[in-house]
Chain A
Amino acid sequence: MEIIVDRAKCTSLGICESLAPDVFEVDDNGELVLKAATVPDGLRDDVEAAIAGCPTEALRLRD
């Protein structure tokens, strides 16, 4: 599963990073960086929590 960030919606609030820190990270420029392009083994629940937790609904998965 590929992780998609809608850059037009993302405001780097960082909730995804707190729920799945191995996948998401906000950098020093305030940009969201994907540390993995696809959902890593064993982190599906964390990534889904991050998607559900995003206040701007900027994250989704694509088969």
Chain B
Amino acid sequence: MGASPERIVVVGASLAGLRAVEAARKAGFGGPVTLIGAEDHLPYDRPPLSKAYLDEGDPVTPWFRTADHLTGELGIDLRLGTPASALDTASRTVVVGRDEIPYDVAVIATGARPRTLPGADGLAGVHTLRTLDDARAVRAALDAGARTVVVGAGFIGSEVASGARKRGLPVTVVEAMPTPLVRAVGEAMGQRCAALHRANGTDLRCGVGVAGFEGDGRVERVRLSDGTAVEADLVVVGVGAQPATGWLAGSGVTLDDGVVCDATLATGGPGVYAAGDVARWHNPLFDRPMRLEHWTSAAEQGAAAVRNALDPSAARPYETVPYFWSDWYDTRIQFVGVPTADEVVVVEDGSGAAGGRQVALYREGDRLVGALTVNGQSVIMKYRGLIMRRTSWADALDFARARREA
């Protein structure tokens, strides 16, 4: 690109996309900025949808910004309600409905789509939980006192189970793996997280799949692979998500479980960057490609992608220690780093006491690469700092010992 960019198009109006358009203005970019969103809604925050938004009482919709702020103050051209259907890196245009919008810089931030299960089509009461509309439907069912079945004991499903139990409703969680969250946090800590469900009256069934749904227009029961069935008015399917890249077929952008980017979030297509759940970029801190579905990285990548796109000669690699949190019942679970470890060591075990802190550290080679805490809000970020500074395993264990004895 010879001249400085004149037009920015951001595809995807959730957190990463919002942060991208905000960063463009913050960087002093005064030209046209278009923000394209598939949903009718203004940008909103997703983590609360499976947490506070499900609580009893009047829900607070977690809007990020008002329309006035986005269109008036920031001067963003908002295109909501229709997804982008194509990107052409040769003509440098994005197709939305019947329009072709030209760009010099494009940021792909289309996020991920929840996986669904076969056999639920046309059956009311079966939902995924990713969008505001999903959350409204799940909330309405809980308000009506639904008997709830959650498929998948991952973070979203576990938060829904927590929300239902908070209301005193019966909840069954069906998990196909013998231990929940094995891929996210490993075996030992997956077991400990599972114990939280059981301690709070959730019927957790592991190693069991869904054989089918039954009901006349509306779900009435879930048949399981072990031959049993569970009555249900509400089924929430939380079995992971896939990057939303279908619209990029033939665009010239490289796809491999996400949009493939270098360390600066550049895709290789001229002026095309990616951010958020859809981006698979090279994280220098761990020297490997990663695709994260986390709040923090989506926010940071949105801003970083635009900054790098506006000034490629000064582009900075984006490196991060992945971080996510999840609220189950009265317990906060936090994870920093990566869970693919050679060894996991539990360095604090307060699992016997209500509200007790648990801390597990993850080793790869001779380095600390991950930490998980349960009720460990005062230590988790100290471990994030250690991982960021590439701290050795031995030093991490010393740190843990000192914390324990403090």
Interface of A with B (CB < 8 Å)?
12-15, 17-18, 21, 25-28, 30, 52-53, 55
Contacts and interface: CB of A to CB of B under 8 A. Distances in A.
Contacts of A14: 334, 377, 380-381, 384
Contacts of A26: 377-378, 381
Contact of B296 (A12, A21, A25, A53): A53
Interface of B: 45, 47, 295-296, 299-300, 303, 321, 323, 325, 332, 334, 336, 377-378, 380-382, 384-385, 388
Contacts of A27: 378
A34 to B, nearest CB: 15
Given A15-B296, A27-B378, A55 B323 contact: no
Question: Top 6 A-B pairs ranked by shortest CB distance?
Answer: A17-B381, A18-B381, A14-B381, A18-B384, A30-B377, A26-B377
A21 B378 contact: no
A47 to B, nearest CB: 15
Nearest to B26: A52
Given A14-B334, A27-B378, A30-B377, A52 B325 contact: no
A14 to B, nearest CB: 4
Nearest to B19: A52
Nearest to B296: A15
Contacts of B384: 14, 18
A13 B325 contact: yes
24 contacts: A13-B325, A13-B334, A14-B377, A14-B380, A14-B381, A14-B384, A17-B382, A18-B323, A18-B336, A18-B381, A18-B384, A18-B385, A21-B382, A21-B385, A25-B378, A26-B377, A26-B381, A27-B378, A30-B332, A52-B299, A53-B300, A55-B47, A55-B296, A55-B299
Contacts of A18: 321, 323, 336, 381, 384-385, 388
A35 B29 CA distance: 35
Contacts, number: 42
Given A18-B384, A52-B303, 19 more contacts: A12-B377, A14-B381, A17-B381, A18-B321, A18-B323, A18-B381, A18-B388, A21-B381, A21-B382, A25-B378, A26-B377, A26-B378, A28-B378, A53-B296, A53-B299, A53-B300, A55-B45, A55-B295, A55-B299
Contacts of B303: 52
A36 B385 CA distance: 19
Nearest to A30: B377
Contacts of A55: 45, 47, 295-296, 299
A17 B336 CA distance: 13
A50 to B, nearest CB: 11
Nearest to B375: A30
B318 to A, nearest CB: 13
Contacts of A13: 325, 334
Nearest to B62: A56
Contacts of A25: 378
A21 B299 CA distance: 20
A30 B295 CA distance: 20
Contacts of B382: 17, 21
B307 to A, nearest CB: 12
A55 B380 CA distance: 16
A26 to B, nearest CB: 5
A3 to B, nearest CB: 17
Contacts of B334: 13-14
A63 to B, nearest CB: 19
A28 B382 CA distance: 13
Contacts of A53: 296, 299-300
B87 to A, nearest CB: 28
A25 B380 CA distance: 11
B289 to A, nearest CB: 23
Nearest to A54: B299
Contacts of B380: 14
